[in-house]
Chain A
């Protein structure tokens, strides 16, 4: 509980800087000069890791980091599933939806685990034999991993959620700490070499996880983003390292961070699947979700379980619409025309692809997990209660948002400066979806908005 409190407090401090003390070294904060482009080559800076171009965009990445081909169904290991018997019932039930959601979540997490393991392997190879080619392979592995994870972001319920939530084990924040991402903290830890110590695993999440790897793998410069008064600048320890040592340490750091992410990915899958030969420690959260209201130790009713699931869907409102799109376009705490420095993962510059992946994940929950929205989703629930019109309008809004985001095209930090109307359109289209989500959707299904169950009513 205490850790959750402090994590929440940190997020609040970082995210709502407008009326609170600002966190000067946070990449996510807008309008600051300590962002990725400060003090050196920045996100697309021309400083190369190894003195030349590295095909994968190392250091000198000039375009959007690709999505790789992660997150597709082909990446889902066939053997990883909840193991539910085949559905025989035609009619929609909430339990059926919960089983579909559980199966889908396991599929997304397993797909990510594959990519996280590959990333860890590549990062270790890079550590053992640093080269431009190894860096490019590691970058590509990271892009695939982050793409797979972005699709799983809306699945932030159960073990992925924070400990205060039902069944929460904090796996999400341990895998992907965004919006907590501190370039300065990472650079301090490059100096202190915390990543070599056992306590690195419990260190603050803004210095490890996939978001830190964005800096470690894609920033090739040797300047740092800390203030002149920070310990590494005031004492001169950063400058004393020298360019080669800094880069060498980043490689080791990245390898350790990637290893932790892979461990967490394994733990997340294990927490969901039932015990089996492949997963002897399987904790079977699939079972908890599917037995909601009928023996589940976590959920007293199927409605409570679906509430938890729907909480995850609100990712598209706050994180996606307000933070990933709204902040860079200047709608948030931004007092210039736009704030390109506040894009998500600024060094790899793949924000547009990540937002597309987020919406793919949302569609899997809302419409169905299979290709093209096949399978049971929340839209089937709406149809079953006679709110098919709302289901159609939400799908229409989703259909409108996806191409609008895709149309942004290049890196978001460029688009908000050069083609802001495209980003504004994407924001507007996405808002049409979230408006329905926050109003009619929660009303007719009697879902509670996230974190509103405290206290009484009348």
Chain B
């Protein structure tokens, strides 16, 4: 299969990651998110990952910028891509409160890219002769990336199949109501039907777009819808590079030779213009044709490496299928826990539940020693405001901080304290309700993958019906 799709993906993705890191540097977010916190929430099973110093974190971001460019250029591709994955993943593993679905997606795509033959053509490596030119790639890579991107859309859609989203139009109703002063779109958001219509549109888009992208006849209009959808979400929400990654990711649904076809079409346009201007020569056109058609016509100079059946290939296929199975099963794991995943968050991360909840909480730890002395510990004592926001709705983080508080008291000479938590949370604007059993001593609980019985069930009442409010400024 033509490798040009993978080359285009490599170039665009490498540049997007570089820009993503540059945004952090430019906006000065690094200290606030990665350096300032005195306590960091660790991922279960990844507590061993060392926490870099502030200077190292800043350096890592610059390294990501450089490696993104190196990946795009295909310079020492395999090494660059693997290092890019390692650096990006390390940054993500510093603190759970920085978790975003699109950072996780970026990690996965970087890993897949690093393992793929994306650097074997149109790259500095092939130009320098570091790697042998390979203008075709196994078809499996194309389908692997399609599965990856398809999983994101599909599960993002399935996550919206809730009464909150489809019946009550929450939390979109809350979010749109605060944007009624936006130019052009703002007055529309003040219409009563705006939130329900947009909720259903979002649900239908996410659950069906993959199939429309796969079908040749609907592919191009579907891609235009992808661009429109992500443009609107980018305007509405602070979702960073997510729209760019998805618009780029959706390109994998086009035929493998789409970049070459694009060049041919551009060349056609150029030729027509040059004919009109009567300045082009047939020699130039022939040279251009030779250049762009090289991968297909000059097969003698490339190593098409027809796949050989063998153990290695079977292993690769097995690994690929295992990866796909993991990607499908991981977002479904919440079914094993039961309950409302938006409330208890068991099975929330790594599941592509993108922008489906508005959750705010008031968390106070109650620490008691054996003499009956009681402390009410607010979260701001240990956390940055950004961490507090994330902690408020995530029980495993509440548990981690509870353990940290117990350790802190032990270090001060109070080794036998109990730590309970008054965790009041509002989901999608509902009345606040206790998230954690206030009687449970968190020091007796260990984090794990089993169902957490110390998390209380979600409230049954529906979210509030927020009425849209027309902006005075929008009417001016």
Contacts and interface: CB of A to CB of B under 8 A. Distances in A.
Interface of A: 16, 18-20, 89, 92-96, 292-294, 301-303, 318, 322, 326, 330-332, 334-335, 337, 381, 384-387, 390, 427, 431, 434-436, 438-440, 442-447, 449-458
Interface stretch (B8-16, B250-258, B319-327, B421-429): B421-429
Contact of A456 (B242, B376, B472): B242
Contacts of A322: 378, 380
A229 to B, nearest CB: 24
Contacts of B238: 453, 456-457
21 contacts: A93-B472, A293-B473, A302-B472, A332-B381, A381-B469, A384-B467, A385-B177, A385-B469, A440-B430, A440-B431, A443-B426, A445-B178, A446-B358, A455-B33, A455-B386, A456-B100, A456-B242, A457-B238, A458-B237, A458-B239, A458-B354
Interface string B180-215: 011000000000000000000000000000000000
Given A303-B179, A381-B469, 11 more contacts: A18-B408, A93-B469, A93-B470, A294-B181, A302-B472, A302-B473, A385-B466, A387-B429, A439-B424, A445-B178, A446-B358
B426 A332 contact: no
A386 B388 contact: no
Interface in B314-360: 354-355, 358-360
Interface in B101-130: 101-102
A334 B381 CA distance: 13
A386 B464 contact: yes
Nearest to A331: B376
Given A436-B432, A446-B174, A456 B241 contact: yes
A41 to B, nearest CB: 30
A330 B376 CA distance: 9
Contacts of A16: 381-382
A27 to B, nearest CB: 19
A439 B361 contact: yes
Nearest to A387: B464
A19 B411 CA distance: 9
B177 A95 contact: no
User: A445, A449, A454: which has the most chain B beta carbons within 10 Å?
Assistant: A454
A386 B466 contact: yes
Interface string B210-252: 0000000000000000000000000001111110000000000
Closest 4 CB pairs of A and B: A456-B240, A446-B178, A331-B376, A439-B426
B432 A18 contact: no
Contacts of B241: 456
A444 B362 contact: no
A388 to B, nearest CB: 10
A18 B240 contact: no
Interface residues of B, number: 67
B374 A454 contact: no
B386 A452 contact: yes
A330 B388 CA distance: 23
Contacts of B242: 456, 458
A139 to B, nearest CB: 34
Nearest to B239: A458
User: B179, B375, B428: which has the most chain A beta carbons within 10 Å?
Assistant: B375
A303 B381 CA distance: 28
A294 to B, nearest CB: 4
A32 to B, nearest CB: 15
A331 B374 contact: yes
Contact of B375 (A20, A331, A385, A456): A331
A434 B360 CA distance: 12
B101 A458 contact: yes
Interface string B69-98: 000000000000000000000000000001
B175 interface: yes
Interface string B29-47: 1001100001000000000
A326 B464 contact: no
Contacts of B239: 456-458
A96 to B, nearest CB: 7
Given A19-B38, A303-B181, A386-B464, A449 B469 contact: no
Interface in B356-375: 358-362, 364, 373-375
A204 B130 CA distance: 61
Contacts of B408: 18-19
A233 B389 CA distance: 46
Contacts of B98: 455
Interface of B: 27, 29, 32-33, 38, 98, 100-102, 174-175, 177-179, 181-182, 237-242, 354-355, 358-362, 364, 373-378, 380-382, 384-386, 388-389, 392, 408, 412, 414, 424-426, 428-432, 464-473, 476
User: A95, A96, A330, A427: which has the most chain B beta carbons within 10 Å?
Assistant: A95
A335 B371 CA distance: 12
A390 B473 CA distance: 26
Nearest to A381: B469
A454 B364 CA distance: 24
B362 A293 contact: no
A447 B174 CA distance: 10
B355 A458 contact: yes
A449 B432 contact: no
Contact of B471 (A302, A326, A335, A440): A302
Contacts of B376: 326, 331-332, 427
Contacts of A387: 429, 464, 466
A386 B464 CA distance: 8
A18 B409 CA distance: 9
A458 B432 contact: no
Given A93-B472, A294-B473, A455 B378 contact: no
A390 B380 CA distance: 25
B251 to A, nearest CB: 20
Contacts of A434: 362
A261 B426 CA distance: 42
A443 B386 contact: no
B469 A92 contact: yes
A390 B464 CA distance: 10
Contacts of A390: 464
A457 B181 contact: no
A275 to B, nearest CB: 24
Contacts of B381: 16, 18, 332
A452 B379 CA distance: 14
A93 B473 CA distance: 9
Contacts of A440: 360, 426, 429-432
Contacts of A95: 471-473
A393 B386 CA distance: 27
A452 B242 CA distance: 19
Nearest to B233: A458
B364 A431 contact: yes
Given A435-B424, A446-B358, A385 B240 contact: no
Contact of A452 (B364, B385, B430): B385
Nearest to A449: B389
Given A444-B464, A455-B33, A435 B380 contact: no
Contacts of A384: 467, 469
A14 to B, nearest CB: 13
B33 A454 contact: yes
B184 to A, nearest CB: 13
B81 to A, nearest CB: 23
A115 B40 CA distance: 46
Contacts of B359: 443
Given A302-B471, A458-B100, A443 B375 contact: no
A312 B427 CA distance: 24
B375 A330 contact: yes
Nearest to A329: B376
Nearest to B182: A301
